[in-house]
Structure 1
Amino acid sequence: MSPEVLPPFNPTGWSERELADPYPVYTRYREAAPVHSGLPTEGETAVWYVFTAAETEHVLTSRDYGRDATCGAAQRTAVPSLPDGRPGLRQLVQDWLVFLDPPKHTRLRRILSGEFTPRVVDALRPRIAEITHELLAGMRTKPVTDLVAGFAAPLPLVVIAELLGVPRRHLDWYRTRALALQEASTARTGQCPDAYRRSDTAASELRDYFLDQVRRSRRSDREDLVGLLAAARRSGLFLGDDEIAATCVHLLTAGHETTTNLLSKAVLIMLDRPDVRARLQDHPEEVGTAVDEFIRFDGPVQMISRWAYRDHELAGAHIRQGDKVVLVLGSANRDPGRFHDPDVLDLDRGTGKHCGFGMGIHFCLGAALARAESEIAITALLKKIHEFSRSEDPIIYNQDLVFHGPATLPLRTRTEPHSSSTA
């Protein structure tokens, strides 16, 4: 039987059902071919979507691909998917670590990497636990609560904000602008007409805030990440104020939204699988291992992009220099060529080499922190909230296939176990 002929892959305009569960769509494309053409956006010559594990790993670890979108013959800006007339957004994003190649990427990552080592993260665990229990105490007072707003979003946001030295009283302001910033994603479905305007405004406001923080740090020694970046020039690793501000915004957004989605989707997994929930309640020592299987099974980041640095062939697709290549991590982590029964959540799998945190030089800087936050949060949630179930209100997903997860997750909760005694 010949492979199914499919239209160009398009991550916009999906139904609510497809958005909540994109995996059947991924399977159709992956079974037809490893690589498919997509619909290019403004400023892109061609776009390709990669659905298999082997090809995804090749692109992530090969020097034939990178983050420089100006590598093609046409003169383009470093972030081609952003329209003209949005200078605040463009200036901010082009200095993000995730969009940089060596040597600039190497320089910035060297400065930051020491703050996210397993040893440093282990030292943060008591504080993460304190924040976790504080938030759960608020959940315990409500029979119905939105897990995202009440727990999954504020936990990693408070942690990264404290690392940046951001006052906690401003967190609602930061999250509102961080979410507006993400509306510029080209993988958002049903994008609102003024998305780029909202993103540009949020980018300018966040940049101005952190530029002020950088200037303040120049006048006093700060032991937070802003101070670390501002003091880098003393070690000969000079960063301009714009670079520092952009890095702080990147850490603030990437440092909380991915973990928010990871926590929310872990709870969704346990809602659908009472046996998994019961097992982790009885064996909290297994939560750390379970987190990796949760990421493989339904990761918080579904897609990441690279650009081709030369003409070549990838699994039969003719890629030209300057073409955009989108790696569908969610599909690669469900590839039966890499994982046995990939559509089954298996806590005994021994997940191995999933690509939920990326690979190569852009492997997620905050992976150790995300794992620690998730392990502590899930363990505490299962201990403190003895029962939780879906409420009558619907679960609404973010209109995004990059940062993928529910925008709201209303739960009914019970904080005390059922008693066997009768009145």
Structure 2
Amino acid sequence: MKELSPTWFAETFQFLTEYLPPDKPQPNLLEKFSNTGIIEPKEGVMLAGSRAALAAVTDPEAAFTTRGAVKIGNQRPHIPQQTDPPDHAKYRKLLDQLFSPKRMNSVESEIFTRANTLIDAFIDRGECNFTDEFAEPFPGMVFLDLLGLPQADRPQLQQMADAIFHPGEGITTDVAEITRIQNAGGQQIYDYFGAAIEERRKSPREDMLTGFIGSEIDGRRLTTEEILDICFTLVIGGLDTVKATLTQCMAFLGQNPSHRQRLVDEPGVIPQAIEELLRWETPAAVSFRRSTKDQEVLGCPMREGQLVVLSFGGANVDPEAFPDGMTVDFDRKPNRHLAFGSGIHRCLGSHLARRELNVALQEWHRRIPEWSLKTGTNLTSSMPIRTIANLELVW
């Protein structure tokens, strides 16, 4: 299969940002995918945006691969997100237990502590830059706790993640420069975790990173490259997606006071509210596959090597799956949204993300029940992860 251009990420997302703007995207997504689940708005790029289309492409038996579909600073495929069966199942079996609900239960008290420590720092001030002072540091702190890394390294790791997901933002639109920034960020991730792995081999600890060193698949220990490729996945997944989701959730609540007030009056509804906000906002809006052969999907011909962009946001307002999908309903049951992806490559850290989101909204509204958006705050979202850069709140 022919490799994609080294600058495909920058080129594709510049196009997607124009074709599927990230600000209030739901009406546009509904319109774009209203007549068909799969469209080809640009030569070489297919967009799948219905529940049926995503199911067809993400079926384990389907002729699609995640390998080679994403190159965003990584030198090798991410593990497990860019591995295919049968290897994928081996890695997931190992990693799923590390992010299981039982494991999340064991660290929940630390998650509460991190959230409240951050709120303590600004609650008496009566305002904050929610993105910088809570949404960004909170999941980063939890991530570092889980891996056993020093909290002082969080800004450094966040810069690496930003280089992957927000390269050149506000500075350049040159695709070659954007690709260079991503590659440099990716190398920094490999260098950082390479040093951390060597340190753990010399001085083992009771942490996840040390656990990777002793882990086995197929009767053998994980190689250093495999551990690095797992860590790459954890960095890009653990530092940016929850940050983005928190900014989108709070922006929605700030614009919809009755929904915000319900979380204050009925804190027991917060878990359901989060599921609905995940469906509605879908911050991690897209994923990628490549067709492994010439084929037809839902009547749409695809060539071998064809890049297919999965629009989870489109699927989450698909009227076939959600007849009233343009209404935000905190009582929606069931709510089989795809904000965490679909198929065997579904988000590895979904249980952790849910726990962080629940703790964040619970503790925020317990301690700061009356708040609003600061007048003039900029609600513009970035891509590919729908993040609001400077969400300012007052109370």
TM-score norm. by structure 1 comes to: 0.84
Report what 1:137 is aligned to: 120
Distance 1:197 1:342, change over 3 A: same
TM-aligned CA distance change 1:134 to 1:192, over 3 Å:
farther
Q: CA deviation at 1:111?
A: 1.9
The total of aligned residue pairs comes to: 381
The CA deviation at 1:115 is 0.9
**Counterparts of residues 226-375 of structure 1 (less than 5 Å):** 226-233=209-216, 236-375=219-358
Q: Secondary structure at the match of 2:321?
A: coil
Residue type of the partner of 1:411? L
Contact 2:65–2:292 (CA under 8 A) maintained in structure 1: no
Match of 2:181 among 198, 206, 216: 198
Q: For the aligned residues, what is the CA RMSD? A: 2.5
Structure 1 position 52, deviation (Å): 1.0
Aligned partner of 2:14 in structure 1 is 12
Q: Distance in 1 between matches of 2:183 and 2:320?
A: 42
Task: Note if contact 1:333-1:342 (Cα within 8 Å) is conserved in structure 2.
Answer: yes
Specify the SS of the correspondent of 1:325.
Answer: strand
Structure-1 separation of matches of 2:65 and 2:124:
47
Change (3 A) 1:79 1:329: closer
Q: 1:184 to 1:118 in 2, by over 3 A?
A: same
Q: State, as a whole percentage, how many aligned pairs show the same letter.
A: 25
Mark the CA change 1:129 to 1:332 in structure 2 (over 3 Å): closer, same or farther: same
1:146 — aligned with what?
129
> What's the TM-score, normalizing by structure 2?
0.89
> CA offsets per residue over residues 302-323 of structure 1, 9 Å max, x none?
1111122333222221112221
Residue 407 of structure 1 corresponds to 389
**1:202 positional shift:** 1.5
**Which among 363, 371, 377 is matched to residue 388 of structure 1?**
371
SS at match of 1:149: helix
CA distance in structure 2 between the partners assigned to 1:351 and 1:299 by the alignment: 17
Cα distance, 1:193 vs. partner? 5.7
Q: Contact 2:216–2:222 at 8 Å: present in 1 too?
A: yes
CA offset at residue 80 of structure 1? 6.6
- Preserved CA contact (<8 Å) 1:79 1:90: no
Query: Using a 3 Å threshold, how does the CA distance of structure 1 residues 399 and 352 change in structure 2: closer, same or farther?
Result: closer
Residue in 2 aligned with 1:421? Answer: none
Shift of 1:18: 3.4
- Mapped partners of 1:161, 1:293: distance in 2: 28
Residue of structure 1 equivalent to 2:9: none
Displacement of 1:175: 0.6
CA distance in 2, matches of 1:51, 1:237: 40
Paired residues of 2:69 and 2:289 also in contact (CA < 8 A): no
Q: Name 2:27's counterpart in structure 1.
A: 24
| Separation in structure 2 between the aligned mates of residue 234 and residue 297 of structure 1, nearest angstrom | 38
Aligned match of 1:418: none
8 Å contact 1:56–1:332 — kept in the other structure?
Answer: yes
Give the unaligned 5+ runs of structure 1.
1-9, 41-45, 70-77, 83-88, 415-423
Contact between 2:276 and 2:335, CA under 8 Å: does it hold in 1?
no
State the SS of the aligned residue for 1:177. helix
Equivalent in the alignment of 2:6: none
Deviation at 1:132, TM superposition (A): 0.5
